[in-house]
Structure 1
C-alpha cells in the first residue's frame, strides 16, 4: 500500500513513517516544519535519520496542508491507498491563548484525530463508547472533537470509505537507536521533554506547582504511551484494512490503560488541562491485535538515550 503521511517530520510522524517502512508500506511524506526541524537545504532531518535506520528511501515534500492547490497537485501526481494525517498545531496552553489560530489551522487544514478528543471523563478508564464533546477545556480539544464528528459523518455518507480514528493519549520516549526523538521548537509544552532538557542542562530549572485537581496527589493523571508503540498502532490499523477490506468507520484507544500523576512524573498543570485521562485499550487489542509493549521505565530510558545523544536536538 502507498500512503500519504502528513506531519511526517514531527515526533509522532517520523516514528510512524519508520514503522510503516519496516512493515513494507511505501510512503510520501509532507510537512511544513511548524513542529519539526529542517536542515540548511530544507530537508527533514528526522526523516533523513529514518532513512539511515531503515536503509530505505523516504520521499519528502515541504507542503503546508493549508495549501489546497499544493495538495491537489500531490494527489494528481500520486495514487494513494490511504492517508495518515498527523499535521496539526498541538499545544494545549497555546490553544487557550490563541484559539482562532487553532480553529483555523486544525479545522481547515487537519484531519488529525489521534489526540485529545475527550473532555473530563465521567468514567475511568475511558472506552471508545465513553461520551465525548462534553466539558472540553481547551480549543485544541474542541478542534479534535469537531474533526472526529466530521469524519464520522463523511463515513456514514460514503460507506465505501475506510475511516479509522485512533484516539491516543500521551506519547513519550524515542526510538531505541537514539537517532530520532522529540525535539520541540522553543520551550517544550509537554512534560517529559521538559524534564529531559532540564536534566541535560538545556533548560535551567523545572518548577513543580499546582495541587488543584481531584486526584491522588492533586496533580493531573495521564496515560503515557511509548511513541514506538503508538506508531505501530497506525500500522496495525492499515493491516486491518488490508485484511478485512471495508471496515467502515472504527474508533480505537491507543494507550497503556495505566495512569500516572504529574507529581509522580514531576510535572506542571497548564491552563486547559483536565484532571485525569487514561484509557481502556482492550478493543485495539481485540480487533487490531495491538497492545503497548513498553512500560514507563522503557519510555524514560529511551527518552534519556535520545536526549543524551542529541543534547541540542536535531539542531546540533
Structure 2
C-alpha cells in the first residue's frame, strides 16, 4: 500500500472518480465531505466498485476542530482538495458564500495541514482562472483574470498557494486547472448528480434525454466559432481522475525520492481540443440515439466564446494525457443517467 491521502470533497463528482483511481494506484484514502452538494451513496458505490471499505468522515473544511480530529487519527502524506462550491450562476448571486467556502475553507485546511507538517497538496483549480483568453490553446503562463466570483475564488486560492510556497519552501502545491469535466464511470454506478437544475452542459443534455427536463437552452449562437455556439475543452472525468494520480505520483517522487519540494506548480488538465456546444449535443444524439430538443437563447453574462487547453506540461512533467474520446464521454454519461434517472436518490 502506498501513502495515505485525505480527499476533501471525495463524495463529489470528480472526487468519487478520483477515489477509484487512487485505490487502483495503491493509495489508501480517507474521504472528508460535508455532503452539501454530494451524496453518501456515491462513497458507498465507490466502495462497492473497488471491493473495499472507505473511511468516510462527514465534516466541513471550515471546521478546524473536525479537521484536527482526522489528522490526529491518520498519518497523511498529502491532501487532494476538491471541497468547493462550483456553480458560476450561484456564485454571482451568493459571492460571500463562495469566498467563505472556497477561499476561507482552504486557508483553514492549510493551517491544519501546517500544524501536522503535511505539506503536499493537489488542489482542484479551474480553467476559469484564465478568464477570456487572448490566445488559444491556453498554456499555464497565460495571464489570469476572472469573469465571475466562482473563478475569482479559485484564483484567490491560487494566489494563497503561491504566497505560501514563497513563505515556506517546504510546501509542494500542485494546482490542477481543469477544463470541462464530463462523462461517468464506465460501470454506470457513479456520475454527475447535480442537486438542482444542472449548471453544466452534459448533465443538462442527459437529463433532457432521459425526460427529466423538457429542452436544452443553448446560450448564444452568435459567437465567432465553428457554428456560433461556445467552444470548450471537454475532458472525461476518468482521464481527470488519472491526472490526480499522476500529480500525486509526481509529488511522491519529488518529496520521497528526490527530497525536494515543488513549491507552487500549476498544470492544465484538458484534451487540447475544442468542441462546440452544438457538436457535443449532436455527438450525444449520434452515440445514444436519444433526441435532445434544444433552443437558442441569449448569451449568458460572463461566458466566453472559446476555451481549450495546452496540455503539454501535464504530458512532459506528469506523463499524463487524456485518452478518452467525446464518443466515450457521451456513452458513459448516458449509461449513468439512464441507469440512475434520479441520480443517487
The two structures have a TM-score, normalised by structure 2, of 0.85
- Which residue of the other structure, out of 227, 251, 254, is the alignment partner of 2:266? 251
Matched, 1:193 2:175: no
**Shift, 1:62, TM fit:** 0.6
1:114 aligns with 2:125: yes
How far residue 167 of structure 1 moved from its aligned partner, in angstroms, is 0.7
Contact conserved, 1:285 with 1:291, CA < 8 A, in 2? Answer: yes
1:91 alignment partner, one of 65, 87, 91: 87
| Counterpart residue number, 1:22 | 24
* Residue 32 (structure 1) aligns with: 34
Alignment of 1:174 with 2:184, yes or no, is: yes
Mapping 1:211-290, distance limit 5 Å: 211-245=221-255, 246=260, 247-266=262-281, 269-290=299-320
Instruction: Between 260-269 and 101-110, report the one with greater CA deviation.
Output: 260-269
Q: CA deviation at 1:109?
A: 1.0
Q: Equivalences for 1:55-74 in 2 at 5 Å?
A: 55-74=51-70
CA deviation after TM superposition for structure 1 residue 113, in Å: 4.0
Q: What do the CA deviations read for 1:200-250 (whole angstroms, capped 9, x no partner)?
A: 111122233423433333322110000000001000011111222233322
Using the alignment, how far apart are the partners of 1:218 and 1:96 within structure 2? 25
Provide the secondary structure at the position in 2 that maps to 1:117.
Answer: helix
Alpha-carbon RMSD across the aligned residues, in angstroms, is 1.5
Whether the 8 Å CA contact 2:220–2:300 is kept in 1: the answer is: no
Give the distance between the partners of 2:171 and 2:218, measured in 1 at CA.
46
2:216 alignment counterpart: 206
Which residue in the other structure is 2:137 paired with? 125
| In structure 2, C-alpha distance between the alignment counterparts of 1:69 and 1:90, rounded to whole Å | 25
Q: When the two structures are superposed, what TM-score results if normalisation uses the length of structure 1?
A: 0.93
Whole-angstrom distance in 1 between the partners of 2:181 and 2:102: 19
Name the structure with the higher strand share: 2
Secondary structure at the counterpart of residue 177 of structure 2: strand
The 2-side partners of 1:288 and 1:24 are apart by: 18
Query: More deviation in 300-309 or 92-101?
Result: 92-101
Shift of 1:149: 1.0
Q: How far is the alpha carbon of 1:153 from its aligned partner? A: 1.1
> How many residue pairs are counted as aligned between the two chains?
307
CA contact (8 A) 1:93 1:271 kept: no
1:294 aligns with 2:309: no
1:135-189 per-residue CA deviation (whole Å, 9 max, x = no partner) reads: x210111111111011011112211111111111100000101110011111111
Q: In structure 2, how many angstroms separate the alpha carbons of the residues matched to 1:99 and 1:216?
A: 34
Structure 2: 5+ residue stretches without partners: 108-122, 282-293
Counterpart pick for 1:4 among 3, 6, 17: 6
Contact 2:7–2:79 under 8 Å retained in 1: yes
Partner in structure 2 of residue 47 of structure 1 = 43
Bigger Cα displacement from structure 2, 196-205 vs 68-77: 68-77
